Chains A and B, each alone.
Chain A
């Protein structure tokens, strides 16, 4: 096929991707958008397949079959509560794909044919124009080095993120020296990229980039705790896009560049949204701990003698007369798999003539939009899922707020107590409501490690126990009333 025609069809594919993401701006058009995007992918892949003649198709077909089965099974089996894990894995595979493309391209152009491990890292004599003449060659080898770097960081970083979300990795230990150690590794990897660009035949430099970047991904994500995962997943999402765009520069392929940049910006914007919602800088999430600033706050002093608790059926009596109820879900709701029970409770309330809405904090859960997907799974209409800025002014007219499995995002200290480590973080002002019901296992602190004065307020009632069980009991009591 004429190269101009191929590039024209790649342009069509790129437009379909853009229309696909545009479709995602409204729930109504989102399904069609996703289909358009998939069509773009089909077009791009088919055109490429038609035009590669001298490729060894055994490997290609085997890869498509193996990948198709793994991807299909993952997508159809995954539970909605486990979406963060799935996205973490897909981020990692995206990074891994770009990484292996760069390595394959490097090995092809250098003519690497190691016969044993011993001569694997022997420098190869490369003709000066193996990667192209002059500046073109320099950019090509630079792109290869950077793709290996970013792809490898994305791969191991995402696998660690997956391990943490799946609770396979429980410890949050970093490299001794923390950010300094990571900084040294990054500097070493960048220096190796410089060596590689100077002498493309320096296979040892390529080996150094690869191994340093793989370790860097590991140690970057290792120290980061569960509640900061939304930031990490969004950032790794962005890296996988940037790696794809860089791979596009290696191959001079337009559709890779466009699609990769779209994914890269998407991840960066989500990262930024998450950071703003936690009032922390990206550097603070990646390298810092939650500040231990201010004087030590004694939890007993805040809670002593002021915390009231009740049984679910007592709460049901309160709910019976409520005009307006707002439900505030957090990661605890996902842990307890309580989304369907919550929906049943909302049904019972609505049957009773009560208005019910859901207040969603941007960092509730383990990834952007996690709560929305869980509640959508339980068939909650999406217009009942109200974002923070729109729900906050309504709390004063709300009779009962039910907080289920959320803690730090409701802590009034973030608003009122200037010395507090979380001061300045935007929160859901649930304490402004007439009554607050908090369903929680105990008074244990959330991720920030702080006591929550909300629990000790006069109009707050604690319901201790498993979230799902408590909600089911409330619903039963409400239906019997």
Chain B
């Protein structure tokens, strides 16, 4: 029970922090912001690893875990690489 309250507190504080941070991002960088947050949402990879199932799990769980790991990895690798590509274009001057 105490853990749930702590997680909820973390969630709410992170929402407030998010509002403070994101409103300061200039419109010029809104597209890299979106692809960059796509990459951050690839943090589900951690969840996918935890849920991927064991040797003794039914095949259904293993395949769901495989799908989750694949999709999350696409977001991590694709998101960070494409964001880096875009930001590099903004940097040169």
Contact = CB atoms under 8 A, between A and B. Distances in A.
Interface of A: 17-18, 20-22, 24-28, 30-31, 33-35, 37-38, 41, 44-45, 48-49, 52, 54-56, 59-60, 62-64, 66-68, 70-72, 74-76, 78, 80, 83, 86-87, 90-91, 93-94, 96-98, 100-101, 103-105, 107-108, 112-114, 134-136, 139, 233-234, 237, 240-241, 244-245, 247-267, 269-270, 273, 360, 362, 367-370, 372-373, 376-377, 379, 381-382, 385, 387
Given A25-B24, A68-B73, A373-B31, 11 more contacts: A21-B25, A21-B36, A25-B25, A27-B90, A41-B39, A59-B69, A71-B74, A108-B61, A135-B1, A244-B44, A263-B41
Instruction: Please classify the interface of chain B as helix (H, G, I), strand (E, B), loop, or mixed, using the class held by over half of its residues.
Output: helix
Contacts of A262: 14, 17-18, 21-22, 37, 40
A139 B4 contact: yes
Contact of B62 (A54, A59, A68): A59
Contacts of B71: 67, 93-94, 96-97, 100
Interface of B: 1, 3-4, 7, 10-11, 14-15, 17-19, 21-55, 57-58, 60-93
A245 to B, nearest CB: 6
A30 B32 contact: yes
B37 A263 contact: yes
A17 B70 CA distance: 21
22 contacts: A20-B40, A21-B36, A24-B29, A25-B29, A30-B29, A34-B32, A38-B80, A66-B73, A74-B74, A75-B77, A80-B86, A93-B72, A93-B75, A94-B72, A96-B67, A100-B48, A104-B68, A136-B1, A241-B37, A241-B41, A255-B46, A362-B27
A259 to B, nearest CB: 4
B73 A373 contact: no
